[in-house]
């Protein structure tokens, strides 16, 4: 009994440790920036040592990828949950639109995502890993865009992946401009521009006839 219980308890402790390190990393990365963040500070904030960090992650980049998958997974799950509440394609499209608008001014994630992508494009090995993660984790989950559009007799102007990423990218950049000068880029304008952009991608392109 004890021999079978011990690995289970150890696994549970490991999962708790990883979750706490990821939670602390999110806070420290958002406050200090990815490159300036110190592993010792992340570990200490979570109540662990540097050794505990390396027992769970190979590097700071590895930790960020774990945080990235957690955030993307959570967002996709929340979006799917909102879309599952309604049945009509028009209502699903509205739910998707509202979801993207609700995330348009997420200061914390905007800064983290933009900074890490800048870091990635300057480091080939990280860039390669980030692109692979997106293809594996995000690509298969944006098919709902094509499904909703097809049900409405429309088609997207680009692939579902490119369309979804463009919505997120515009949101991040507008949020950055809002943080820089909210007087010139007020919250209402951010939401208005995002709303028009999403509408232009999902309403102006009629599905081509197969005849």
Going residue by residue through the chain, which has 211 residues, state the pLDDT in tens, using 9 for 90 and above: 455 546 677 778 889 999 999 999 999 998 999 999 999 999 999 999 999 999 999 999 999 999 999 998 898 889 889 999 999 999 999 999 999 899 888 999 899 989 999 999 999 999 999 999 988 888 877 888 899 999 999 999 999 999 989 998 999 999 999 999 999 999 999 999 999 999 999 985 555 555 4
Q: What's residue 208's pLDDT?
A: 54
pTM, to two decimals:
0.82
Query: Is residue 22 within 8 Å of residue 67, measured between CB atoms?
Result: yes
Residue 114 and residue 64: Cα distance in Å, rounded? 13
Which among 145, 191, 188 has a CA at the least distance from the CA of 165?
A: 145
| Three-state secondary structure call for residue 154 | strand
Q: What's residue 6's pLDDT?
A: 67
Q: What's residue 203's pLDDT?
A: 83
Q: What's residue 7's pLDDT?
A: 66
Which among 93, 108, 123, 122 has a CA at the least distance from the CA of 172?
A: 108
Q: What's residue 14's pLDDT?
A: 86
Q: How many helices (H) and strands (E) does the chain have?
A: 10, 0
Q: What's residue 1's pLDDT?
A: 46
């Amino acid at each position: 009994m004890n021999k079978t219980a011990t690995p289970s308890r150890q696994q549970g402790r490991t999962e708790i440790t990883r979750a706490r390190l990821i939670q602390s990393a999110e806070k420290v990365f958002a406050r200090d920036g990815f490159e300036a963040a110190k592993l010792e500070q992340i570990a200490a904030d979570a109540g662990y040592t540097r050794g505990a960090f390396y027992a769970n992650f190979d590097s700071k980049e590895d930790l960020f990828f774990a945080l990235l998958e957690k955030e993307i997974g959570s967002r996709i799950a929340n979006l799917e949950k909102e879309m599952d509440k309604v049945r009509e394609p028009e209502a699903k499209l509205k739910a998707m639109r509202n979801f993207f608008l609700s995330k348009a001014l997420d200061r914390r994630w905007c800064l983290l995502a933009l900074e890490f992508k800048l870091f990635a494009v300057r480091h080939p090995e990280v860039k390669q890993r980030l692109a692979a993660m997106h293809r594996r984790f995000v690509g298969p989950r944006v098919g709902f865009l094509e499904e909703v559009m097809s049900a409405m007799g429309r088609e997207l102007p680009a692939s579902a992946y490119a369309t979804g990423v463009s919505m997120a990218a515009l949101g991040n950049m507008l949020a950055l401009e809002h943080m820089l000068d909210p007087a010139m880029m007020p919250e209402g304008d951010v939401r208005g521009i995002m709303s028009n952009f999403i509408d232009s991608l999902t309403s102006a392109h009629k599905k081509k006839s197969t005849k």
